[in-house]
Structure 1
Amino acid sequence: MDKEEQIEKVVEEAKVFEMTKTEVIKVVREEAEKIGLDPKKIISAKAGEKLKPEPITNVKIHPNSKPAVLKVYRNNDKKNFDVYNPFKFRDFWITELDEFCLIIEEKKNSIGKDLMKSLGKRYERLKKIPKELGI
């Protein structure tokens, strides 16, 4: 690395160390919103607490609804469900999207086919993000 790059790197590290707690929270919130995560879940998490959501066991797709309306059941509990009206893929983590893929494939609903197309596009977008970030 030439000297200019080293200087830039040192300046960036110094800025990070000088940041206050509120500035760090602001940066985390902005980055979470960029990638489609809920910033409240990330910021409010306690130290050492895992952010892993409960596994999705079933999805009920309401027929003939545009935009799609889904009930998402978790942990084989009939009483533990969330209604997403309208349904947005950005409300879920990548691991949850993997679970959706397996469940939605089995559905015979016409909206399920549209959801699978949208999910495929979402995965294509997720593949491009590391390249854009230079990871």
Structure 2
Amino acid sequence: MNIDTSAKTPGWSSLENYDAPGGSVMTSSEVSHSNKLEQYVSHKHLVTLFYDKERADSLAAFSVDLLAKYPDYPYHQAAHGVDVMRSLRLLLTDIIPADSLSLYQKDLLLEAAAAHDAGLAVGPPPYGYPTKEHYAVSFLGEQYEPNS
């Protein structure tokens, strides 16, 4: 299966290109990074990600609680949790056949995405590791000797 990732797919974005509720893209000049982050991890945004609209409100509230438990590292932070949720939603909506999973199962996967790094404590606080690759190399410890 070939998937064209060159074009922006609706529903897929990171905090830098976040589509605000209502469809307008917020630019850095229009809103501060902290305000954009606050909206990106907000209940109002998260409620739009869930499939079961009757339960979406409570699922979004639970997700907000989970995302509040993320560390504030450069890579591992609440926005990363929302990015994973949005990536999973793209898979569930555009790639996985619609009748493969129930609404309940899809929403359960979205909650798992929200929870996947909640409570994570990695790296030398308060900064953590800039990328997951730096984090992976940290496990090599004394065994890693550059140019050896």
Give the TM-score, by structure 2 length. 0.23
Task: Name the structure where strand makes up a greater proportion of residues.
Answer: 1
Give the TM-score, by structure 1 length. 0.25
Task: Name the structure where helix makes up a greater proportion of residues.
Answer: 1
Larger Rg: 1
